[in-house]
Structure 1
Amino acid sequence: MSAMLVTAAALIWLTGLAHSVLGERYLLMRLFRREEVLPRLLGSTAFTAGTLRFVWHLLTVVWWGLAYVVLSLGNGPLSRDHLLLAIGVTALVSAVFPLYFTRGKHLSWVALLAVGSLLLASRTAAP
């Protein structure tokens, strides 16, 4: 396995981790303390805060999925099924975020769940 690919994948993964941890601590928490700057959607700022939080952390999940793909390339060319698996799992994990952070009110979870399911199901179907 190429040391360059391993290093790149590790840096992508660590960047995602730093983005979530530092963004939560130094940006989101401070922003959410100032409710007067958040728009009231669906009757409160809770939906707005939940949406901002899940989108912020969703980027980390996508970066981690990309890190997995880069790391997998170290074992040779990726097959169609392997790439569909990586993207499908990333989409399914991503679907959890709007479900959790907005209690399902942000309907992106429906699309993400459908995408993940379709990609995983297509692995067994003919191309």
Structure 2
Amino acid sequence: MTGADMAMLLAGVFLVGLGLVHSWLGEVKLIGPLLSPQGRSGMLVHSRFARNVLRFAWHLTSLAWWGMGISVAMLAVPFAVEPRLALLAGTGVTCLITGLLILVIGRGRHLAWPVFLAAAFCCGVPLA
């Protein structure tokens, strides 16, 4: 393994770890207190949908970092996956999971899910 490969692998590990810490600390220190009945204000008081979107958007950032980290780490194994395919697969799977989660958790009310699923499909076309 070259120094560049090791750097890519470490970057992937750092990004996955960052996503884990981001979700955990964010939930404990920011999102949980903000969404508690005592911490709510504005539309968060009356809209369960707004509270769910806020919480989900926070954790969706972590999911994006995990997908990016896994894609970069796959680039560290040059003979296992062609770089273009690694990036397409990592991005496509991340978009697929994101789109499905938005569809299910938001019950189709948030309009981002078809865009994520379309992006996932487009990433998958060159992989087929």
The verdict on a shared fold, with TM-score over 0.5 as the criterion, is: yes
- CA displacement, residues 79-123 of structure 1 (integer Å, 9 cap, x when unaligned): 333321111111001113322432221121111111112211232
1:27 has 2:6 as partner: no
Q: TM-score, normalization: structure 1? A: 0.82
User: 2:49: which partner in 1?
Assistant: 47
User: Which aligned segments of 4 or more residues in structure 1 are displaced greater than 4 angstroms?
Assistant: none
1:98 has 2:102 as partner: yes
Are 1:89 and 1:116, in contact at CA under 8 Å, matched by a contact in 2?
Answer: yes
Q: TM-score, normalization: structure 2? A: 0.81
Query: How far apart in 2 are the matches of 1:38 and 1:98?
Result: 23
Percent of counterpart pairs with the same letter?
A: 31
User: 2:11: which partner in 1?
Assistant: 8
User: 1:120: which partner in 2?
Assistant: 124
Q: CA RMSD in A?
A: 2.2
Shift of 1:46: 0.8
Structure 2, unaligned stretches of length 5 or more? none
Question: How many residue pairs align between the two structures?
Answer: 122
Are 1:72 and 1:78, in contact at CA under 8 Å, matched by a contact in 2?
Answer: no
1:71 has 2:73 as partner: yes
Structure 1, unaligned stretches of length 5 or more? none
